[in-house]
């Protein structure tokens, strides 16, 4: 999968969000230049595409997926509803 082509296609819908933190996907050229990632997740019936923003990508590289999820959980638990 060509990540740049995938980002351009997804950005054209104005609907993309980071899988982890729900950050809104910016315009295509900004998404490409800042390092948004597109991942294909194979499922039983269909494959899914997820987007990962640069911040979550960095945290995932440093902390691993469990650490990233724990970190996000701690941050969101402090948000008053």
DSSP state, 44?
S
Segment 43-71 shows an average pLDDT of: 86
* Euclidean distance between the first and the last CA atom of the chain, given in angstroms as a whole number: 39
**pLDDT tens, 2-15?**
888 989 999 999 88
Residue 28 to residue 13: CA distance in whole angstroms: 10
pLDDT at position 81 over 60 = no
**pLDDT tens, 63-80?**
888 888 888 877 766 666
Checking phi first, is residue 48 left (phi over 0); if not, alpha (psi -120 to 50) or beta?
Answer: beta
Which residues is 49 bridged to in the sheet? 40
Alpha carbon 45 to chain centroid, angstroms: 22
Number of DSSP helices (H) and strands (E) in the chain, helices first: 3, 2
């Amino acid at each position: 999968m060509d990540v740049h082509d995938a980002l351009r296609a997804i950005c054209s819908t104005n609907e993309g969000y980071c899988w982890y933190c729900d950050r809104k996907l910016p315009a295509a050229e900004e998404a490409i230049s800042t390092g948004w990632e597109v991942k294909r997740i194979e499922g039983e019936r269909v494959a899914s595409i997820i987007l990962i923003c640069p911040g979550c990508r960095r945290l995932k590289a440093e902390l691993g997926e469990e650490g990233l999820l724990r970190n996000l959980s701690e941050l969101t638990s402090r948000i008053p509803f």
